[in-house]
Amino acid sequence: MEELDLVVRNAHVVTAADEFDCDIGIRDGVIVSLARGLPAGRKEIDAAGRYVMPGGIDGHCHLDQPMTDGTKMADDFHSGTVSAACGGTTTVVPFACQLKGQSLRAAVEDYHRRAEGKAVIDYAFHLIVSDPTPDVLQRELPELIAEGYTSFKIYMTYDDLKLNDRQILETLAVARREGALVMIHAENTDCIAWLTEQLLAAGHTAPRFHAASRPMLVEREATHRAISLSELVDVPILIVHVSGKEAVEQIRWAQGRGLQVYGETCPQYLFLTSEHLDGDDFHGAKCVCSPPPRDKANQQVIWDGLENGVFQVFSSDHAPFRFDDPQGKKAAGENASFDQIPNGIPGLETRLALLFSEGVLTGRIEPQSFVALTSTNVAKLYGLYPRKGSIAVGADADLVIWDTDVNLTIRNEQLHHNVDYTPYEGMKLRAWPGMTISRGEVVWSAPHAQVQPGRGKFLPCAKPTPARPRSERRLSIGGATQG
């Protein structure tokens, strides 16, 4: 047998399906053997006693996304992917966002330019469709889906992004025809606008009123509407960044009716509450994101949803704005009203360790479910599986080797993003990736990043594995085929 480039020895491998002890043999960036007692490789890593899992895939993060309001995202494809790698993530899927009036193709080309030469781990793109003109729907979107941009996000709120119900239906119909997966930001825009107006008129301008302007009801109503529109068109959808009980109830209801409605949640809905928006001196702006964090009872519902299968994916929704920066949270001034604060919080680097520490090590979440939520299901939903998202012969050698004997306090100064704060400052963790391997190369060996800008490769995506309309789905049981 030709010599192996790397052997990760004595690994305690966890995949979404299995848990077993073996050596992992890697050649040319690909896993070529899984066995005990593999011959020596050119390089050896001893993982004895440690969990080795597929590298994380962050299926929802915003990097260097052009903004129209004078703000600027703090992370580009270099700092963002370094930060991801140091937190155990080996693939990111950020958004090529169409600005109104712009062609989708121009947005994609612009976004490629932003990534090239900078990314240190592999990346794919979702599209954001904000201007579904006839040309976009009939020509551009189908062409881009065929070229490997097989998922796209649509918004039900934000003035420069939102689609009305008719536009959503037309866009969903293209997804159905072309086999793409649609991610939906579900919040009722008119309710938010009306509540915002009321709050501002009453002089309630502080960051904490951001949460009051987007109560659970607005998310529940839009989630229900998104589900109904997708049912009408008969197309799978993913409801992204679900924040609490009422939206969970809608998704569970849809799933119970056999609809292909998937759910995503994020660390902010497990670890933050609306009280984090309270801080003095405008500090609450650091946790302004949409939907907003809720309360402890809703956190519990989100934990339950991760355990009981309502959610398929766990993403960061990393949307990085610096706090003390005129292009960041203070873009409209030190004491801007809540509606002028850019939405979003950082979380690429802390996503996996937070869930591992508080989910797996507390026994709330099985290790296999952790892998499914943070890697395998993401790869399947976005057409990156089986190259990504598993530890299997033929898969890319994207691995994370966990240190689970640590006693760590999250400090922003130890993170690698370009944001001047983390919402999780001071939180205690019992696990952190000791090593991240991307296509057989060590990119993070605690406490050092070992990265080469531009080594990350663009990944065209296949059509998503489960994204088939109901009418085309067949479940094969014991040879019989059911509709």
Task: Name the site residues for ligand DUC (rule: CB under 6 A).
Answer: 62, 185, 289-290, 317, 319, 343-344
CB of 65 to ligand DUC, least distance (A): 9
Return the range that interacts with Zn ion (CB under 5 A); candidates 11-19, 22-30, 315-323, 469-477. 315-323
**Eight-state DSSP code of residue 376:** I
**Eight-state DSSP code of residue 24:** E
Q: Which helix (H) or strand (E) holds 400?
A: strand 399-403
Nearer to ligand DUC, 344 or 389 (CB): 344
Nearer to Zn ion, 222 or 391 (CB): 222
Peptide bond into 292 cis (omega under 30): no
CB of 153 to Zn ion, least distance (A): 7
Return the range that interacts with Zn ion (CB under 5 A); candidates 67-75, 84-92, 141-149, 317-325. 317-325
Nearer to ligand DUC, 53 or 319 (CB): 319
CB of 108 to ligand DUC, least distance (A): 19
CB of 469 to Zn ion, least distance (A): 24
Question: What residue 211 binds from Zn ion, ligand DUC, none (CB within 5 to 8 A, per partner kind)?
Answer: none
Return the range that interacts with Zn ion (CB under 5 A); candidates 65-73, 162-170, 179-187, 305-313. 179-187
Pick the binder of Zn ion from 50, 185, 276, 417 (CB under 5 A). Answer: 185
d(CA 182, CA 187): 16
| Residues β-bridged to residue 12 | 21, 51
CB of 170 to ligand DUC, least distance (A): 21
Residue 312 has, within 13 A of its CA and on its CB side, a CA count of: 22
Nearer to Zn ion, 64 or 317 (CB): 317
Nearer to ligand DUC, 95 or 303 (CB): 95
Q: Give buried/exposed letters for 141-150 (b at 16+ CB in 10 A, else e).
A: beebbeeebb
Contact 312, 381 (CB under 8 A): yes
Pick the binder of Zn ion from 122, 317, 339, 420 (CB under 5 A). Answer: 317
d(CA 265, CA 273): 14
Q: Does 246 bind Zn ion (CB under 5 A)?
A: no
How many amino acids of this chain bind Zn ion (CB under 5 A)? 2
CB of 83 to ligand DUC, least distance (A): 16
Nearer to ligand DUC, 343 or 369 (CB): 343
Say how many C-beta atoms besides its own lie within 10 A of residue 321's C-beta: 30
Q: Which is it for the CA torsion 156, 463, 255, 361, positive or negative?
A: negative
CB of 8 to ligand DUC, least distance (A): 35
Identify the residue whose tokens are 């706090």.
323
**Short-list 110, 160, 163, 111, CA closest to 137:** 163
CB of 268 to ligand DUC, least distance (A): 9
Mapping DSSP to helix (H, G, I), strand (E, B) and coil, where does residue 327 land?
Answer: coil
Nearer to ligand DUC, 105 or 162 (CB): 162
Question: What residue 344 binds from ligand DUC, Zn ion, none (CB within 5 to 8 A, per partner kind)?
Answer: ligand DUC
Nearer to Zn ion, 185 or 220 (CB): 185
**What does the H/E/C string look like for 242-281?**
CCCHHHHHHHHHHHHCCCCEEEEECCHHHHCCHHHHCCCC
Q: Which residues are within 8 A (CB) of 283 and not within 5 positions of it... i.e. 6 or more apart?
A: 207, 323
Contact 440, 28 (CB under 8 A): yes
Q: Does 380 bind Zn ion (CB under 5 A)?
A: no
Interface with Zn ion (CB under 5 A): 185, 317
